[in-house]
Amino acid sequence: MEKENLSFMDKLNELLMKDWTFILLVMGAAASIFAGTYLYISHGTGAFNEVSIVAMLQGGMETGDYSAAAGFAAGFLIARILEGPLVGLLDIGGSLMTGVGIGIPGLLLSMGWDFPLSNFFVALLFGAIVGVVIGGVIIAIRKLVPSGVAVGGTGIMMGAGNASGRYLAPMIVICPASYNVYAGIGAIIGSAIFYKWGKEMTGGAILGAMIMGAIFIP
């Protein structure tokens, strides 16, 4: 039984390490984020970002000037993508929320291209296409980086495994508890599972907190 479990875990680990798995995960995240921005523009709620970042998009909606949203958020996304060797789960998550959720909509709206934000399903599809492109570019950059340049420990889903991530792991495990107790429990469980797998605890803490926090919304 133990061998069967080990075999399953090995297969799961191999699946998660596939390039196309990472691209699919980025595609799903980008589709959700972009569709969330459509909901915010149409219904005033649903944006996947901090209030201060969303305020840039809101300012553009009120004044017609999207330069702040497009300049800051899209630039943030480009910088993170070009940062190839250092891109991790924590980094790409934040840059997707900022770049795809605020920057790209800001660019499109500033040019008068509002079709991608015309309805929910179009936004979902457009976000998925953007996610595939971003995921593919990140994989390509990582493959082009000379061996030994990339940071160590880029195990599960490209990251949360660099040197700074290891030092920040305890703080990342504890911080979700400030959101709610379920997110805190999820972070602890996730980090324990990743520790058992021999992966970076930071990635497990983030995923666990996201899953439990989404299930038990306060």
Hunting for tokens 């996201």 — which residue is that?
210
Closest CA to 5 of 216, 151, 157, 196: 196
Residue 111: per-residue pLDDT = 87
Per-residue confidence band for 37, with pLDDT thresholds at 50, 70 and 90: very high
CB count within 10 Å of CB 70 equals 23
What are 67-83's pLDDT values in tens digits? 888 877 767 777 667 66
Predicted confidence (pLDDT) at residue 95 exceeds the cutoff of 90: no
Predicted confidence (pLDDT) at residue 203 exceeds the cutoff of 90: no
Query: What's the mean pLDDT in 170-180?
Result: 75
Least confident range from 34-38, 91-95, 111-115: namely: 91-95
Domain ranges of the chain: 2-147, 160-218
Structure tokens that stand for 98 in this block: 């900022």
Least confident range from 16-25, 39-48, 77-86, 152-161: namely: 152-161
CA dihedral 210, 22, 35, 128 (to 10 degrees): -170
DSSP string covering 118-138, please? SSHHHHHHHHHHHHHHHHHHH
Residue 134: per-residue pLDDT = 87
- Return the axis-axis angle of helices 19-43 and 120-144, rounded to nearest 10°: 140
CA dihedral 101, 104, 110, 112 (to 10 degrees): -100
Compute the distance between CA of residue 187 and CA of residue 168 in angstroms, rounded to an integer.
Answer: 13
Query: What's the mean pLDDT in 178-194?
Result: 84
Predicted confidence (pLDDT) at residue 23 exceeds the cutoff of 50: yes
Structure tokens that stand for 73 in this block: 């958020």
13 burial type by CB count under 10 A (0-12 exposed, 13-18 middle, 19+ buried): middle
Closest CA to 201 of 160, 163, 164, 162: 160
